[in-house]
């Protein structure tokens, strides 16, 4: 079993920018909030929120823990359902979601 690489040693202590409480607080941020915070623009966030709500409706997910069971097949089935009802090509749907349109 390989060990992870060690952090480089420093001869001078590096001042800590985050307090221990702030560090732990960031570790406790729910992944969905962290993910949405990383999206660049408000329009992109809105597009992903809309898509996520539609995906939740399609799959019947009721608890956040249920997302752990989602597979690529679930996402493809959802995409195909939208493409069929909207008369879109799958490529167009993927492009729109990626662009946040």
pLDDT tens sequence across 82-96:
888 777 666 666 666
In tens, the pLDDT along 49-74 reads 888 888 899 999 998 888 889 999 99
Domain locations in the chain as residue ranges: 30-99
Q: Which two tokens stand for residue 18?
A: 């985050």
- The dihedrals phi and psi of 37, each to the nearest 5 degrees, come to -65, -25
Contact indicator for 45, 36 with CB cutoff of 8 Å: yes
Q: 20 vs 17, 24, 25, 26, CA distance in Å?
A: 10, 6, 8, 10
Q: Single out the residue of 37, 75, 43 nearest to residue 56, CA to CA.
A: 75
Residue 27: CB atoms within 10 A of its CB come to 7
Q: pLDDT confidence of 43, banded at 50, 70, 90? A: confident
The predicted model scores a pTM of: 0.58
Report the percent of the chain where pLDDT is more than 70.
75
> Tell me, what's the pLDDT at 27?
79
More confident site: 69 or 10: 69
List Cβ neighbours of 35 (8 Å cut-off, separation of 6 or more). Answer: none
* More confident of the two residues 5 and 62: 62
């Amino acid at each position: 079993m390989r060990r992870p690489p060690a952090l480089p040693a420093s001869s001078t202590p590096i001042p800590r920018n985050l307090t221990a409480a702030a560090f732990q607080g960031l570790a406790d941020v729910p992944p969905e909030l962290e993910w949405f915070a990383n999206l660049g623009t408000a329009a992109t966030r809105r597009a992903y929120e809309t898509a996520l709500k539609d995906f939740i409706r399609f799959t019947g997910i009721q608890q956040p823990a249920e997302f752990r069971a989602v597979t690529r097949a679930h996402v493809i089935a959802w995409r195909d359902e939208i493409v069929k009802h909207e008369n879109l090509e799958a490529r167009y749907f993927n492009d729109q979601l990626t662009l946040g349109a």
